[in-house]
Every structure is written in C-alpha cells, then in structure tokens.
Amino acid sequence: MCPDFHNDFTVTSYMCFLDLLIDEAEDVKDLRDAGILYNRLGSDEEVAKLFNKMNTGLVPSPIIYSGVKRKIHDHCKNTWIKHFAQGYHTYFRSPWTFLAFVGAITALLLAALQTYYTIHQQNLKMSSTEEGGGAVGSPGEVVSTDQTITTNTNS
C-alpha cells in the first residue's frame, strides 16, 4: 500500500457485513426482493456460495457497520417481534389462512355486536313500558295496557 493512501476498509467491511446476512439461497432472495442485491450470476444458490467463499480472507473494519449490527441485534432480541414472527411463519404460511383468520375475527365481532344489541334492546323495551305505562306495538303505535278484559257469559 502507498504511505499517503488512507484506507478505512469500507468495501471489505461491506462484503463481510453481507456475508453475515447471507447464509443460504433464501437470504439472497430476500435481499433481492428488498432491492439490495441484483443477481446476475444465475441462481440464488450460486450467489450464496460466492459470498460464503469470498469473504474468508477479508479484513473488515469493526467500527463501520457496528451501528447497523447493533440495531439488527436489538431488533432480533425483542421478544414481541420474535413471537410475532414465529406465529406468522407458523400459522400464516398461505394467504388462505390469513383470510380465514380475518373471517373468524369478523364473525366473532359480529356475534358480540349482535349479543350486545340483543341485551340492550331488552333494556329499551323495559324502560319504555315503565315510563309510559304502555307496551310498544308496531313502530309509532302505542298499545294501552289499561283496557279491561270482558268475558261473554251468554251461554
């Protein structure tokens, strides 16, 4: 190296950082989908092998990507995110399971709403009969309960 050349090992640090992220072909696919990598080699498996073999002798600078590594580590250590990711990968592997889950939640909410309005409707009927002294008939019509019942005794 030249004595007047300052090298902070940015490129080798980036390659080592990507090697930390890439272990198998699925990791390459995720990075391609995010727009971080562009695969011109062919298969994702070839790219994963290339990164795993290429970075064996590189000397990274530990300072350059330490903030990113810390954020990734903190994100992965969060228990809520860990449980959410585990549940998502376990129970929602296909879009149909997600749609079934949304349908079940909707059905439960509608059943709870129906139960609430059924109970609340009974309270409304009771309060209207107590206040007005009459029973509710068809909409807008009040039936009086003060009428006496007469029986026909002509036999």
For residue range 41-56, list pLDDT tens digits in order.
Answer: 788 888 888 888 887 7
pTM: 0.42
- For residue 67, give its domain range: 10-77
Cβ neighbors of 10 (< 8 A, separation 6 or more) are 61, 64
Q: What are the angstrom distances between the C-alpha of 66 and each of 39, 69, 135?
A: 26, 5, 76
Residues 104 and 59 in one domain: no
**Residue 109 domain-assigned?**
yes
Q: How many domains does the chain have?
A: 2
Q: For 42, what's the count of Cα atoms within 13 Å in the CB-facing half-sphere?
A: 4
For residue range 115-141, list pLDDT tens digits in order.
Answer: 999 888 876 666 666 555 555 555 555
Residues 67 and 100 in one domain: no
Residues 61 and 17 in one domain: yes
Nearest to 21 by CA among 85, 79, 65: 65
Residues 54 and 103 in one domain: no
Q: Look up residue 122 and give its two tokens.
A: 């009974």
Residue 32: exposed, middle, or buried by beta-carbon count in 10 A (0-12, 13-18, 19+)?
A: middle
Residues 45 and 102 in one domain: no
Residues 72 and 99 in one domain: no
Question: Rounded distance, CA 39 to CA 55, Å?
Answer: 18
